Amino acid sequence: MRHIRFIAGAALGASFLLAGCSAGPGPTGKGGWIAPSAKDRSWIAPDAKKALLYVSSALTDDVYVYSYRDQKLVGTLTGFKLPYGLCADAAGDVWIVDDGAQQIVEYKHGGTSPIATLGDPGEYPEGCSVDPTTGDLAVTNFYSASGSGSVSIYAHASGEPTTYSDPSITNFRFCGYDDKGNLFADGANNSSQFAFAELRKGSSGLTNITLQQKIEWPGGVQWDGKYVAVGDTDAGIIYRIKVAGDKVKGSTSLAGSDYVNQFWIAGKVVVAPSQDGNAGVGFYAYPAGGSPTKTISVEEPFGAVVSK
């Protein structure tokens, strides 16, 4: 199921998603904590110091913060116009893609106020990733005010970006750096078919890659320590890709999930938000997959990241 994307109150006919309202209570964590409404100010519990899970909601325009260890709600970040993808750097700082505001906002681990804001004017950003070798920030843009999407690279996560386009990719969705500083990005061509590309470290342009696996709709992209993990949003499957030879080395089925956009792999666990239905945010064994071992109730969650 794909939904119509709404930006700044206007319906824009892209093959994307913004799910309709869902029934049920607001996001809750262990112990029955209920997140404040979007009108309230951002807050973080004073004892929220260790590993934290950040989850963006496409319905409430908030980002919810949980204790990763016990899934207890410990904070809410507010004031976004349409928060989508999330990523973190080596220091644990979290970047939040705010599509509606056309910007990317940085928060300290456990912080409640932005420490940096990068503009992405004329673009509608969806995903992000931080280069572990340089600290550069990559942002995938679903499309731009002038047409097709692109990839924006902010050197050292600051200043103005260098933007890369690809005639074979009309809409970019997500991206992920490997441990050598090569960037991989997925998206869709002008026929809404899956497309994949690499921006090799030091390269001046994107190189298209044809995968030996049919993917219905592009999902998250992340380096898992050995392979590039690429999600199929429609199927609820994560494929492990060996880029040399473009071979699929295995897959992780997310049973019970429903439209997973941007997942996050944390060692032997993958956190998978389901935007449709009532599946919430599931915790799955990685790479084994199967049924979730734990779940968190969040209304229309879009992206997730673990900050340590």
pLDDT over 80 at 75, yes or no:
yes
Confidence of residue 246 (pLDDT cuts 50, 70, 90): confident
Report the Cα 140 to chain-centroid distance in Å. 10
Work out the number of other CB atoms within 10 angstroms of the CB of residue 267: 9
| pLDDT of 2 over the 80 cut | no
pLDDT of 3 reads 38
pLDDT at 34 over 70: no
Q: Where are the domains of the chain?
A: 3-307
Query: Exposed, middle or buried: residue 245 (CB in 10 Å: 0-12, 13-18, 19+)?
Result: exposed
Model-level pTM? 0.89
Least confident of 6-10, 77-81, 109-113, 302-306: 6-10
- Taking only the tens place, the pLDDT of each residue in 115-170 is 999 999 999 999 999 999 999 999 999 999 989 999 999 999 999 999 999 999 99
Strand order in the sheet with 103-107: 83-88, 94-98, 103-107, 114-119
Tokens 């997959």, residue located: 289
Residue 24: pLDDT over 70: no
pLDDT bucket at 40, cuts 50 / 70 / 90? low
Burial 206-230 (b: 16+ CB within 10 A, else e): beebebebebebbbbbbbbeebbbb
Does residue 13 surpass a pLDDT of 60?
A: no
DSSP state for residue 11 in the 8-state scheme: E
List the CATH code of the domain at 3-307. 2.120.10.30
Residue 292, pLDDT score: 98
CB atoms closer than 10 angstroms to residue 109 = 20
**Residues sharing a CB contact under 8 Å with residue 57, sequence separation 6 or more, in sequence order:** 27, 63, 64, 83, 298, 299, 300, 301, 302
